[in-house]
Structure 1
Amino acid sequence: MTSASPVLHSEHIRDEAILARLGYKQELRREFTPLEVFGVAFSIIGLLPSIASVLSNVMPNGGALSMVWGWLFACVFIMCIGLAMAELASAAPTSGGLYYWTYSLASPRCRNFLSWIVGYANTIAAIAGLAAVDWACAIQIAAAVSIASNQVYVTTNGRIYGIFAALVLSHAVLVSFGTQVLARLQRLYIFLNVCLCLIVIIALPIATPSEFRNSASYALGDFTNLNGWPSGFAFILSLLAPLWTIGGYDSSVHMSEETSNAATAIPWAIVASIAVSAALGWGINISLAFCMGSDLEGVLNTPIGQPMAQIFYNSFGQKGALAVWSLVIVAQYMMGSSCLLVGSRQSFAFSRDGGLPLSRYFYRINSYTGTPVNTVWLGASLSLVIGLLAFASTEAINAIFTLTVTSSYISYITPIVTRFAFKNDFKPGPFNLGRFSFPVAAIAVSWMVFMNIVFFFPTTPETTAQEMNYTLVVLGGFMSLAILWYYCPKYGGVHWFNGPVSNIASADKGDDDESALGKMGKGEE
């Protein structure tokens, strides 16, 4: 036995005690260290592959200026969201996270309904997140084939869906493995993502031929507007790039019951993943702005089908671009596995509390792997369904990127607001902002409400039914079904859903308002 083992054992006992006071018994294995839970959030952010995935959104909405300064501007608000969430995570480190906090902090009159809404918004965010990541990965694989064929190969949405389906199914197999395997993989994910960032920040400017190098005045100040919106609104629309890239930081929260020293490790994983991604991402965007050339329409309409792949092709040549791009695909693939990992834990927690249809089936731990295999395959199956939007139009499938952000923000806004809007006995955990808690939360909520409205707008001011923004249709349809099911006569959730339900057998749980489930932060007393 190593000298660290007694310390780790003590941390596990404390973690289990905190979880018990929150109303749950320990069912999952605490295999994730603080570094590895940071790795989950950092790999889901997947900095370079994520920037590559949404570069086609930011380039026509401001070009270099939006890429460089829009990134920095958005990161200030992203950090406010992360700080507000980190406080809640420190007070109640449970896999249920967002919907648990909502229930614990809201008024008894509405907490069941609000918890239900947050649970479903968080579920659709996880499913859409996996679909968006694997769809982007499929496009990246098609771009690699195009590079290898000297831009002769041309793909279709049908071919990309086939690649997408194979990626999703392979992720389902991988994430069904034991927790220890998945935890150790996070260190590899961190290493690869950092290496990719450094390649673009350092090697790309060195390799770029003079004809593709831009001046400082262009890279830091040129505003190119190709989509037709007024320049100010175009700049705001470009912010989807940083907001989607540095997203999913609630992933650390859903790993709370598999993390050692969760009340401290989880909030710091949220804050650190945002801070590191903001700094490295800014460096990447500056490097791209200097090395992408000035023909943005040519880069966007490349036969390769992927703007960043074209930039790499111009700078590194065919073989060099293919080598670097292969690493991007690997990082994107890892990102997809982390998305499904976290989404399965969120679905498991929501099923534990009876929120999902067939919850009794999905609330199961596989006896061999010690993981919730059923919710892994649930998330994968629903992502395959969402991917069918590709057969409607390119604009329809692209809506999964804004869908991920908007549904996530619904699930973020609600618990942050309930903390301050209702009378409750919130007690901070080890991580807290003190007197800055309310102003940071107010900034975060105002920003998320504003951006959610913005992301319902179409790509261009003049649009057709086929080119419309399908985010509102998909999100509105999904949430409408969730609300209809909640209020369904006789069978609806309003008749049986009671929010988080303790699974610890005890004769003295007390009533709902005085139970552990109604007292956030008691685990730190």
Structure 2
Amino acid sequence: MASHELKQIAPATSHEVEGRSSSKETDDVNLIRLGKRPVLKRNFGLMSMLGFSCTILITWEGIVVLFLQAFQNGGPAGAVYGFIFVWAGVAATFVVLSELASMAPTSGGQYHWCSMLAPPSAMKLFSYLTGWLTVIGWQATFATSCFLSGTLIQGLIVLTNSSYEPKNWHGTLLFWAVAVFSVGINSVGGNLLPRFEGLILILHILGFFAILIPLTYMADHSSAQEVFTHFLNLGEWPTQGLSFFIGLVGCVFAFAGGDAAVHMSEEITNAAVAVPRSIMLSVLINGTLGFSMLIAMLFCLGDIEAALVSPTGYPFMAIFLQATHSVAGTATMGSIITTMGICTSVGMLASTSRQFWSFARDRGIPGWRLWSRVTPESAIPIYSVGLTTIVACLLALINIGSSVAFNDLVSMSISGLYLSYMIVASLLLYRRCTGGIGSSKSSDDAIVNTAGAKLVWGPFHLPGIWGILVNTFALLYMTIAVFFSFWPPQHTVTVDTMNFSVVGTVGVIILSLVYYVLRARNVYEGPIVEIHI
């Protein structure tokens, strides 16, 4: 029987849920308690998932590529203090996500959590909207990753071949090449993806030192006063404070994708423990590396005016060239970042497709019967992998007309993901303040932590007032991040500088609501209980 034929799934027999002792069997029982039948293979352990989480965030690489957003609106000092604020906010947000992932480690993530936390009268609509916000956010994140990787390759070609004239359509073709590579890794079953992510974690750490050491050793250095006290307002905003908050977008995106491990939960051993650990360790590791690289970049800026007009399209390549005085050395350093960007796209496709597959499994997507299929040989939702890639490749066509318009996907990624985080964080805060979540007992074999079922904490959670304070701060941070993600980078707005991400985000929400009224409200009931105990 196909795993997607939900109506004909029979209840679990006693031997499916009793007498299991292995970690995999325990994970399957925990998933059954959430009402879901295990259909994916658990090939990830803690270390491979830590590699997956770290290389999805790639914060230090993202800071190198995008730090000028904070530099132009905030200056060196604004970038430093903005990063600290974002890091603290992200840590609080990841604590909330980790608590929820520990309660319900399912590929659905946010929309499943929303269904279990929301009042019954609002559960269906809230869960549906949260699912679509997550779809928007992850689709934009995957597309942005492929776009940055493709244009980084273009930048390296410009750096090493002065006769090359870059065209937007070249970047689109390179985007497609990165997407095809990502599909290749994601389409092979077994342990390829976990092993791949483990290797990339090694490159992530070693690459950091391979860039940090020559950059700081060979470059001329700015003074500490310039780095820590000099603010800029190149966007010409009315106040420095407003400029500072608008400049946070680059740092926020450098931490984008914190829920990546969540959507791989059904492929992880001991998911209720491993997912929270990998999420929290990733924010610690990436935050430390990212802050160190940001400080190094700000001390080693050199001629920033020349860097801003670099023909490569990426100022960091000009900064590296000024420091090393070597095209070969700069190309090598740039290749490390480009390679990490390409490899990140692999993990992003995995998370994007798993979330899409899970939402289709619960009938929230048009054509859910097809997109919810899992190939029995590889245990991979290959149809969702394919559709996710096709959508991203179609989005890449925007770059042919305007690379500026495509850059709005960065803001769309932040708004989509963070709005989904905000909804579930608000509901969790309400539940924890009203005492609506109980403690879990290992002997419980009832359905829990899904729509209409009992709520119990998982192995990871902050008790009492500490949980309330962290949850509240996370909501405050996310509100600021979402609000300013819709702002343009300059006060004087033109077609080229306008931020159209709000149009894309609201547009998709409206289309999803239209589909909800016409069709989904009759087929979508929230997470389906596929298997009964």
The TM-score normalised by the length of structure 2 is 0.89
- Alignment deviations for residues 351-383 of structure 1 (CA, whole Å, 9 cap, x no partner): 111111111101111233221111111111111
Do the aligned partners of 2:102 and 2:271 also contact (CA within 8 Å) in 1?
yes
CA distance in 2, matches of 1:63, 1:130: 29
Task: Give the alignment partner of residue 244 of structure 2, picking from 232, 235, 247.
Answer: 235
Determine whether 1:173 maps to 2:175. Answer: no
Do the aligned partners of 1:154 and 1:303 also contact (CA within 8 Å) in 2?
no
Do the aligned partners of 2:306 and 2:318 also contact (CA within 8 Å) in 1?
no
CA distance in 1, matches of 2:78, 2:256: 18
Do the aligned partners of 2:147 and 2:396 also contact (CA within 8 Å) in 1?
yes
CA distance in 1, matches of 2:55, 2:342: 10
Determine whether 1:140 maps to 2:170. Answer: no
- For 2:307, the equivalent position in structure 1 comes to 299
Do the aligned partners of 2:59 and 2:287 also contact (CA within 8 Å) in 1?
no
Q: SS in structure 2 opposite 1:110?
A: helix
- For 2:12, the equivalent position in structure 1 comes to none
- For 1:434, the equivalent position in structure 2 comes to 463
- For 1:37, the equivalent position in structure 2 comes to 49
- Alignment deviations for residues 152-209 of structure 1 (CA, whole Å, 9 cap, x no partner): 434222221121122112212221111411011111111111112222332311122x
CA distance in 2, matches of 1:56, 1:161: 23
CA distance in 1, matches of 2:61, 2:291: 14
Do the aligned partners of 1:403 and 1:471 also contact (CA within 8 Å) in 2?
yes
**Counterpart AA for 1:302:** S
Do the aligned partners of 1:200 and 1:287 also contact (CA within 8 Å) in 2?
no
CA distance in 1, matches of 2:163, 2:313: 11
- For 1:194, the equivalent position in structure 2 comes to 205
Task: Give the alignment partner of residue 369 of structure 2, picking from 354, 360, 371.
Answer: 360
Q: SS in structure 2 opposite 1:69?
A: helix
Moved more, 25-34 or 216-225: 216-225
CA distance in 2, matches of 1:355, 1:225: 44
Determine whether 1:16 maps to 2:28. Answer: yes
CA distance in 1, matches of 2:145, 2:209: 22
CA distance in 2, matches of 1:192, 1:107: 45
Determine whether 1:372 maps to 2:395. Answer: no
Q: SS in structure 1 opposite 2:191?
A: helix
Do the aligned partners of 2:211 and 2:333 also contact (CA within 8 Å) in 1?
no
Do the aligned partners of 1:147 and 1:313 also contact (CA within 8 Å) in 2?
no
Q: SS in structure 2 opposite 1:354?
A: coil
| Alignment map for 1:116-265 (pairs within 5 Å) | 116-149=128-161, 151-208=162-219, 210=220, 213-229=221-237, 230-265=239-274
CA distance in 1, matches of 2:506, 2:305: 33
**Counterpart AA for 1:335:** T
Aligned length, in residue pairs: 491
Do the aligned partners of 2:60 and 2:291 also contact (CA within 8 Å) in 1?
no
Task: Give the alignment partner of residue 80 of structure 2, picking from 68, 73, 78.
Answer: 68
Q: SS in structure 2 opposite 1:468?
A: coil
- For 1:97, the equivalent position in structure 2 comes to 109
- Alignment deviations for residues 467-489 of structure 1 (CA, whole Å, 9 cap, x no partner): 3101101111111101111112x
Do the aligned partners of 1:59 and 1:296 also contact (CA within 8 Å) in 2?
no
**Counterpart AA for 1:115:** S
Q: 1:144 to 1:76 in 2, by over 3 A?
A: same
Gaps of 5+ in 2: 1-19, 438-454
- For 2:506, the equivalent position in structure 1 comes to 476
Do the aligned partners of 2:114 and 2:423 also contact (CA within 8 Å) in 1?
yes
- For 1:514, the equivalent position in structure 2 comes to none
**Counterpart AA for 1:159:** H
CA distance in 2, matches of 1:391, 1:360: 34
CA distance in 2, matches of 1:18, 1:368: 24
- For 1:523, the equivalent position in structure 2 comes to none
| Alignment map for 1:276-315 (pairs within 5 Å) | 276-293=285-302, 295-315=303-323
User: How far 1:494 sits from its partner (Å)?
Assistant: 1.4
CA distance in 2, matches of 1:201, 1:219: 17
Task: Give the alignment partner of residue 464 of structure 1, picking from 482, 494, 505.
Answer: 494
Do the aligned partners of 1:43 and 1:186 also contact (CA within 8 Å) in 2?
yes
CA distance in 2, matches of 1:465, 1:216: 38
CA distance in 2, matches of 1:452, 1:278: 20
CA distance in 2, matches of 1:157, 1:202: 34
Gaps of 5+ in 1: 1-7, 510-525
CA distance in 2, matches of 1:335, 1:179: 19
Q: 1:462 to 1:442 in 2, by over 3 A?
A: same
User: How far 1:139 sits from its partner (Å)?
Assistant: 1.4
CA distance in 1, matches of 2:458, 2:234: 48
Do the aligned partners of 2:99 and 2:460 also contact (CA within 8 Å) in 1?
yes
Do the aligned partners of 2:429 and 2:472 also contact (CA within 8 Å) in 1?
no
CA distance in 1, matches of 2:309, 2:74: 16
- For 1:503, the equivalent position in structure 2 comes to 530
Determine whether 1:411 maps to 2:410. Answer: no
**Counterpart AA for 1:59:** F
Moved more, 162-171 or 45-54: 45-54
- For 1:445, the equivalent position in structure 2 comes to 475
Do the aligned partners of 2:67 and 2:251 also contact (CA within 8 Å) in 1?
no
Q: 1:381 to 1:53 in 2, by over 3 A?
A: farther
- Alignment deviations for residues 41-60 of structure 1 (CA, whole Å, 9 cap, x no partner): 11111233322332331221
Do the aligned partners of 2:60 and 2:286 also contact (CA within 8 Å) in 1?
no
User: How far 1:440 sits from its partner (Å)?
Assistant: 1.1
**Counterpart AA for 1:342:** S
CA distance in 1, matches of 2:67, 2:215: 16
CA distance in 2, matches of 1:482, 1:500: 17
**Counterpart AA for 2:374:** I
Q: SS in structure 1 opposite 2:396?
A: helix
CA distance in 2, matches of 1:265, 1:92: 13
CA RMSD of aligned residues (A): 1.6
